[in-house]
Chains A and B, each alone.
Chain A
Amino acid sequence: MHKLMLDIRNFDNKVNQMVKKGQVPGMTHFSVGEEAANVGAIAAIGQQDFITSNHRGHGQSIAMEIDLNGMMAEIMGKATGTCKGKGGSMHIADLDNGNLGANGIVGGGMGMAIGAALTQKMKNTGKIVLCCFGDGACNEGTFHETLNLASIWKLPVIFYSINNFYGISTPIKNVINVDYNYQRASAYGIPGHFIEDGNDVVAVYEKVQEAVEYVRNGNGPVLVESVTYRWFGHSTSDPGKYRTKEEVDSWKKKDPILKFRSYLVDNNLATEQELDELDVLSKTAVEDAVKFALNSPEPSYESAFEDIFAD
């Protein structure tokens, strides 16, 4: 888990640098600060299971162990990208490995998640779906419709709300009339779990694992909410006026990676040196991904007319 968290941090820090240098052609949304909330939850599901991701999906795709070269090339719009340069940051997907894709529409993956869960139920596969979305999605109509339908059909899906407190600039507390979104689970007659410290990857893992077991046993969906914080703006175009420097700094002190590092060292699960080596490996992998992406060809004009319809 530590390596994947480092990969997210190093990957997005690198993309951010490249954005500033003008090397990234389009819009990107970063997962820095939210590493534990992503990695802990995805580590708790099985290799064979599915996720739907959201528009802040870098962390989820990396936690699903996507090929970093393809992902970096995609963000740079190259032909060798995960989506051949047609999707970009908001549409990273890895269908062969259970990642049903990031989504540019807030709440857009929720319908797909319950549909993927319906397939698992109808085909009796024993697989489950982790539906990732942000606090911003919880006031979309699709949130209520999909939670209701999944509840009445007892679909094997975990609705996983990553609460980073802001929908772009709008504080979540201004737009919901309960303290936290997980409390709404009772409206659908399903369990709601709260992970107060979503920067604690072990806590996230344990709580989501509990939900995984419940869902896999055919009991129907669970709503889980993790509290975390994005260190950067909403996207690369965000001036960040709605948050104070003190607030951002206070969250940086709750760094999920440092927290897990202390946990691993204190419990003699890894040494400082081993973790440093892991960080070097991660940074090297990211640098390799950048080289791969920079050396990759641009997609041809003709390729823009391909992949619209399946045969």
Chain B
Amino acid sequence: MNNETKLMSVRDAIIMAMSEEMRSDENVFLMGEDVGIFGGDFGTSVGMLEEFGAERIRDTPISENAISGCAIGAAMTGMRPIVDVTFMDFVVYMMDNIVNQAAKTRYMFGGKGQVPVVFRCAAGSGVGSAAQHSQSLESWFCHIPGLKVVAPGTPADVKGLLKASIRDNNPVIFLEYKAQYNMKGEVPLDPDFVLPLGKADLKREGKDVTVITYGRMLDRVLQAADQLRDAEGVSVEVVDLRTLIPLDKETILESVKKTGRVLLVNDAHKTNGFIGEISAVISESEAFDYLDGPILRLAAEDIPVPYNQALETAMIPSVERIKKYILKLVNNR
């Protein structure tokens, strides 16, 4: 394996992941609105039309129902489509196909057939796109047996997990964060660099408190952890879930047993959000006996995402608020 890495953006990591998979498997193709000459609404397929041609970089009409249904039918018959959903909010138009068809087909047919399709969704707020273009809707999909849900938070994880999602034989909801397409990090260049789905990653080891997060909030949690370590000497363990379904309960529970204090952070709405599920998983497990205090949640407020930049910023967890919550837990000892 080649150990070389390169500093690149999330956007370029996505292009690299898809391009590598398309070079190695002729059944992989990309479809969606503006994926061709425009290079994707978020620039996540720039240059791919030139390399792979219009047969495999398929521009579609604005027809989310037909796009999603078509991708599922192609997947059932031997292709491995990647769908650029663009704004995650538009997935609402695809819900029947994802929830009633893709997720259930194999089960309803008694284990016959498979649906290897990836729905790439640009989630989250942070670019002034208001209430219909800013949602993180992962919890809806986590509720449906038969779907995998992936939400990486670094460029390297984006590459490794997108490749794994494309190679997976099941429908995968893959979250990208529109506010982080330009975020940079070192990314392995080896085409064989693939990360496993269902495996969380300990991004920081610590002993005082566990912060469990994923996706867009990882970067802020890491900043908070590093600042508290340097300024206050607090030792924060950061569990990056990376995939929500399948969920790596083992890593979560091991960390909770170690620190006894838990903060859960995501950028989706608080009520019925996925981190509430994590809280229940901990409470129902043997790790509950190791807790030294309540499990805290820090999530987006339960309001539609406002357009005004100050309001939009204020409604999701900031580094300062994450620090405040960590200290609240630690000072409770």
A246 contacts the other chain (CB 8 A): no
Q: Is the CB of B169 within 8 A of A311?
A: yes
Q: Is the CB of A145 within 8 A of B108?
A: no
- CA–CA, A116 to B97, complex, Å? 14
- CA–CA, A309 to B55, complex, Å? 29
Q: Is the CB of A86 within 8 A of B110?
A: yes
Q: Among A52, A87, A113, point to the contact of B108 (Cβ < 8 A).
A: A87
CB A258 to nearest CB in B, in angstroms, measures 35
Q: Which residues of B contact A114 (CB under 8 A)?
A: 66, 69-70, 73
User: Which stretch from A13-21, A77-85, A170-178, A198-206 is at the chain B interface?
Assistant: A77-85
Instruction: List CB contacts (< 8 Å) of B61-87 with chain A.
Output: 61, 63, 65-79, 81
Q: 1/0 per residue A130-172: CB within 8 Å of B?
A: 0000000000011001101100100000000000000000000
Q: 1/0 per residue A75-101: CB within 8 Å of B?
A: 000000111111100010101100011
Q: Is the CB of A111 within 8 A of B70?
A: yes
Q: Is the CB of B78 within 8 A of A115?
A: no
CB A289 to nearest CB in B, in angstroms, measures 17
Q: Is the CB of A84 within 8 A of B111?
A: yes
Q: A111-B70, A112-B101, A146-B69 are in contact. Are A95 and B96 (CB under 8 A)?
A: no
- CA–CA, A149 to B223, complex, Å? 46
How many of chain B's residues have a CB under 8 angstroms from any CB in A?
42
Interface size class on chain A is 35 or more
A302 contacts the other chain (CB 8 A): no
User: Which stretch from A27-35, A118-126, A218-226, A272-280 is at the chain B interface?
Assistant: A118-126
Most buried by B among A82, A101, A111, A116: A111
User: In the complex, what residue of chain A is closest to B75 when comparing beta carbons?
Assistant: A115
User: In the complex, what residue of chain B is closest to A92 when comparing beta carbons?
Assistant: B109
- CA–CA, A116 to B66, complex, Å? 12
- CA–CA, A111 to B95, complex, Å? 12
Q: 1/0 per residue A294-311: CB within 8 Å of B?
A: 000000000000111111
Most buried by B among A93, A123, A145: A145
B113 contacts the other chain (CB 8 A): yes
- CA–CA, A66 to B38, complex, Å? 46
Q: Among A50, A100, A115, A148, point to the contact of B71 (Cβ < 8 A).
A: A115
Q: A116-B76, A119-B77 are in contact. Are A110 and B108 (CB under 8 A)?
A: no
CB B86 to nearest CB in A, in angstroms, measures 16
Most buried by B among A113, A115, A145, A307: A115
Q: Which residues of B contact A187 (CB under 8 A)?
A: none
B145 contacts the other chain (CB 8 A): yes
Q: Which residues of B contact A104 (CB under 8 A)?
A: 100
Q: Which residues of A contact B55 (CB under 8 A)?
A: 122
A57 contacts the other chain (CB 8 A): no
Q: Is the CB of A83 within 8 A of B73?
A: no
CB B49 to nearest CB in A, in angstroms, measures 16
B60 contacts the other chain (CB 8 A): yes
A105 contacts the other chain (CB 8 A): yes
CB B83 to nearest CB in A, in angstroms, measures 11
Instruction: List CB contacts (< 8 Å) of B260-315 with chain A.
Output: none
A108 contacts the other chain (CB 8 A): yes
Q: Which residues of A contact B119 (CB under 8 A)?
A: none
Q: Is the CB of B69 within 8 A of A310?
A: no
Q: Is the CB of B73 within 8 A of A95?
A: no
Q: A95-B112, A310-B106 are in contact. Are A149 and B73 (CB under 8 A)?
A: no
Q: Which residues of A contact B146 (CB under 8 A)?
A: 308-309
Q: A86-B108, A93-B112, A118-B79 are in contact. Are A145 and B65 (CB under 8 A)?
A: yes
Q: Among A85, A105, A116, A307, point to the contact of B74 (Cβ < 8 A).
A: A116
Q: Is the CB of A145 within 8 A of B107?
A: no
User: In the complex, what residue of chain A is closest to B146 when comparing beta carbons?
Assistant: A308
Q: Which residues of B contact A95 (CB under 8 A)?
A: 76, 109, 112-113
Q: Which residues of B contact A110 (CB under 8 A)?
A: 69
Q: Is the CB of B77 within 8 A of A116?
A: yes
- CA–CA, A30 to B77, complex, Å? 28
Q: A95-B109, A310-B169 are in contact. Are A149 and B63 (CB under 8 A)?
A: yes
Q: Among B66, B74, B100, point to the contact of A108 (Cβ < 8 A).
A: B100
B259 contacts the other chain (CB 8 A): no
Q: Which residues of A contact B67 (CB under 8 A)?
A: 149
Q: A115-B74, A141-B65 are in contact. Are A101 and B79 (CB under 8 A)?
A: no
Q: Which residues of A contact B97 (CB under 8 A)?
A: 108, 111
Q: Which residues of A contact B105 (CB under 8 A)?
A: 101
Q: Is the CB of B76 within 8 A of A118?
A: no
- CA–CA, A91 to B71, complex, Å? 20
Q: Which residues of A contact B109 (CB under 8 A)?
A: 82-83, 86-87, 91, 93, 95, 101
New A-B contacts (8) at CB < 8 Å, excluding given A115-B81, A146-B65, A307-B107: A111-B72, A112-B69, A115-B76, A117-B73, A145-B61, A145-B65, A149-B63, A310-B170
List of 10 A-B pairs having minimum Cβ-Cβ separation, nearest first:
A111-B69, A115-B73, A307-B111, A145-B66, A112-B73, A84-B110, A83-B110, A310-B114, A310-B169, A115-B74
23 inter-chain pairs at a CB distance below 8 angstroms, sorted by A residue, are A50-B77, A84-B110, A86-B107, A86-B110, A87-B110, A91-B108, A91-B109, A108-B100, A110-B69, A111-B101, A112-B73, A115-B71, A115-B73, A115-B76, A115-B77, A117-B73, A118-B70, A119-B73, A120-B77, A142-B66, A149-B60, A152-B61, A309-B148
